[in-house]
Amino acid sequence: MATNEYLRKPEWLKIKLNTNESYTDLKKMMRSKNLHTVCEEARCPNIHECWAVRKTATFMILGDTCTRACRFCAVKTGLPTELDLQEPVRVAESVTQMGLKHVVITAVARDDLRDGGAFVFAETVREVRKANPFTTIEVLPSDMGGKLENLQMLMDAKPDIMNHNIETVRELTPRVRARATYERSLEFLRRAKEINSDIPTKSSIMVGLGETVEQLYEAMDDLRAVGVNILTLGQYLQPTKHHLPVKKYYTPQEFAELKEVALQKGFSHCESGPLVRSSYHADEQVKSAQQA
């Protein structure tokens, strides 16, 4: 083969499928309430572990169609038409039904909306908290156009963790992400801390897109400079042949070394591994952030 476009997946990326009763029940509930999860839409490799074993899920609100076409993401792209104002209540009901102690709420990018979806996002946080006062809530929004008033609206709802992903290193951002910029994401995280320093912030980086270790260290430093508390590091996996190819598969040992560096740089918690995604073991990360 002339290029590295289709690297063979290593043994450590093999996934054990588990479709037990918890998995099928959760899937039925999501369909019955017309809810979307990033677990399904983004083809997360941990869906069987989270749904069948941990019984956790990451809700994806504001529809299933993203206005951006990032070259790493499997979520469908187009012009959304729906804005379901009853969605926050249905998410809250689902959290109750599942008995979740921690919930992650993310969303497609809605550049078609003036507020970037901030109002529905904030309402979802409020409805979940009203129905589930002992459930901790993590939000994972896009940069919502980089507008301070949109971020303020979401921060006013007081999530327990504000998560916004830079996804990759500075040098690769123009090739990997659509419309979003590296600096705007850092500014988003900086302003979140400025609005409410008591709310832990979190970000995630995919590896294997062609970055260098030095660039990863620089990205860690950039995140720490804006006060980010929690970092997740995971292997990029090409969802379809139309997406960016994998340039390198990092070994479990390399992930362990990256985690050690991240903790040395001052992150209160770092989840680092081949199958780690932004929401992986998110319930455990809350405890680390609160103790920091």
Q: Structural domains in the chain?
A: 16-291 (3.20.20.70)
pLDDT computed for residue 207 by the predictor:
97
Kindly tell me the burial class for residue 51, based on how many C-beta atoms sit within 10 Å of its own C-beta (0-12, 13-18, 19 or more).
Answer: buried
Looking at residue 1, what is its pLDDT?
Answer: 36
- Would you state the pLDDT for residue 129? 97
CA gap 274, 236 in Å, rounded: 8
**Quick one: pLDDT at residue 5?**
52
> Residue 39: helix, strand or coil by DSSP?
helix
pLDDT tens, position by position, 14-54: 766 556 566 566 667 666 666 666 555 445 655 555 554 55
Q: Which pLDDT tens digit goes with each residue over 79-125?
A: 777 788 999 999 999 889 888 888 899 988 888 888 999 999 999 99
pLDDT of residue 3: 45
pLDDT digits (tens, 9 = 90+) for 240-285: 888 889 999 999 999 999 999 999 999 999 999 998 876 655 556 6
Q: Tens of pLDDT along 184-233?
A: 999 999 999 999 999 999 999 999 999 999 999 999 999 999 999 999 99
d(CA 204, CA 251): 18
Return the closest-CA partner of residue 229 out of 263, 194, 181, 254: 263
Cα–Cα distance measured from residue 108 to residue 179, given in angstroms and rounded to the nearest whole number: 13
Residue 79: the pLDDT is 79
pLDDT band at residue 239, thresholds of 50, 70 and 90? confident
The Cα–Cα gap between 122 and 124 comes to 5
Output the pLDDT for position 235: 94
Start-end of H helices in the chain: 21-32, 38-41, 47-48, 87-98, 118-131, 148-156, 173-176, 182-195, 213-225, 252-264, 282-291
What is the pLDDT, as a whole number, of residue 281?
A: 59
Binding-site annotation, residues for [4Fe-4S] cluster: 39, 44, 50, 66, 70, 73, 279
Give the annotated binding-site residues.
Answer: 39, 44, 50, 66, 70, 73, 279
Pairing of β 136-140 and β 58-61: unpaired
